[in-house]
Amino acid sequence: MGFSKQEDILGSWIRDAGARLTGLYEARQAQYVVSLLVRHLTGYTFVEQVLHAPEPVSSSFRDAAEQMLHRLMSGEPLQYVLGETEFCGHRFVVRPGVLIPRPETEELTEWVASDWKQGPSLPARKVLDVCTGSGCIAISLALWFPEASLWGLDVSPDALGVASENAGLLGAGVNWAEADFLTGNGMASMPQLWNTIISNPPYVSEEQRGEMHARVLRYEPLRALFPPVTDVLVFYRALANYARKHLVPGGAVYAEINEAYPEATEQVFREAGFVRVELRRDIRDKWRMCKVVMDI
């Protein structure tokens, strides 16, 4: 299997691949992306990649790595190229047609988990994840709180297929429902009372489209990013109205929000009759989450 050429050793391939991605990514980020690709193919940690740098690469590694590199150079997101991403300490399958989980969604999930750990034990806790996508929120909570009854809802059968696959791979017990939350179609057979409702709904406005990276607009599902109507807050109005009827006293809604509309989002819930509304910034200091509690 040995290779004598300098370019056929791992360290040289890593440096060359990073240089080829520079321009599409900032230089340090390009090297980081290449390191993740190598870890995916070899299992080597970042430190092990340095230790193995002088070693020759196999033809099978080179073929697979070059194919992935070309996909990256075309602008395809790394997570789709690898077919997976990490979320709340677990690896989730992702593929085109399903939104790639973001760090801010991890923060939302961890907020819910933190509140549950500090609050009273609810063995019959019923939880609805609206616009579940890859299932990352519902599955993470199911793994942390296996006694809870979790439901993941999405209008996309492709997304639900990935969510179900992730639940099976990770051993999480979640119920899945194909339904349209805005119209209510498909929701009649679901539980009608919830302790917690969580959502990372489509919330990007058309005005913000120009600020988004081209690889997001080209590869990720647009209906998971943009609401189907011009009202950018349409899902929050639906969440507020649904929660007034289906949230138990003391229950809460947790939602990821558009950083440009924190006050408007808060007002949506207050106009629906909620008094206890909390906004929270993410790690980048952007208004990104809200929590709404039903009065007892």
Each residue of 228-269: pLDDT tens digit?
A: 999 999 999 999 999 999 999 999 999 999 999 999 999 999
Q: State yes or no: pLDDT of 130 exceeds 60.
A: yes
Q: What is the DSSP letter of 57?
A: P
- pLDDT recorded at residue 296: 73
Residues 6+ apart with CB under 8 A from 187: 153, 177, 179, 181
Structure confidence by residue, pLDDT tens digits, 14-40: 999 999 999 888 999 999 999 999 999
**Cα gap 257→289, rounded to integer Å:** 5
**Cα gap 280→256, rounded to integer Å:** 10
Lowest mean pLDDT among 116-125, 126-135, 175-184, 211-220: 116-125
Burial 134-163 (b: 16+ CB within 10 A, else e): bbbbbbbbbbbbeebbbbbbbbbeebbbbb
When pLDDT is averaged across residues 267-273 and rounded to a whole number, the result is: 97
Q: What is the DSSP letter of 78?
A: H
Structure confidence by residue, pLDDT tens digits, 64-117: 999 999 999 999 999 999 999 999 999 999 999 999 999 999 999 999 999 999
**Cα gap 75→1, rounded to integer Å:** 32
Average pLDDT, the chain: 93
Q: State yes or no: pLDDT of 7 exceeds 80.
A: no
Q: State yes or no: pLDDT of 5 exceeds 80.
A: no
Per the DSSP assignment, residues forming a β-bridge with 46 are none
**Cα gap 277→269, rounded to integer Å:** 7
What pLDDT band is residue 122 in, cutting at 50, 70 and 90?
low
When pLDDT is averaged across residues 143-148 and rounded to a whole number, the result is: 94
Q: What percent of the chain is predicted at pLDDT more than 70? A: 96
- pLDDT recorded at residue 121: 67
* Token output for 154: 């999405």
- pLDDT recorded at residue 215: 85
**Cα gap 70→20, rounded to integer Å:** 10
Q: State yes or no: pLDDT of 3 exceeds 70.
A: no
Q: Which long-range contacts (CB under 8 A, 24 or more apart) does 69-72 make?
A: 69/17, 69/20, 69/21, 69/34, 69/37, 72/21, 72/24, 72/33, 72/37
Beta strands in 102-158 (DSSP E): 126-130, 149-154
**Cα gap 191→128, rounded to integer Å:** 9
Q: What percent of the chain is predicted at pLDDT more than 90? A: 88
Q: State yes or no: pLDDT of 134 exceeds 50.
A: yes
Question: Computed from CA positions of residues 168, 176, 236, 203, in that sequence, does the dihedral angle turn out positive or negative?
Answer: positive
| Whole-structure pTM value | 0.91
State phi, psi for 283 to the nearest 5 degrees: -65, -20
- pLDDT recorded at residue 214: 86
Q: Is 75 left (phi over 0), alpha (psi -120 to 50) or beta?
A: left
Burial of 270 (0-12, 13-18, 19+ CB in 10 A): middle
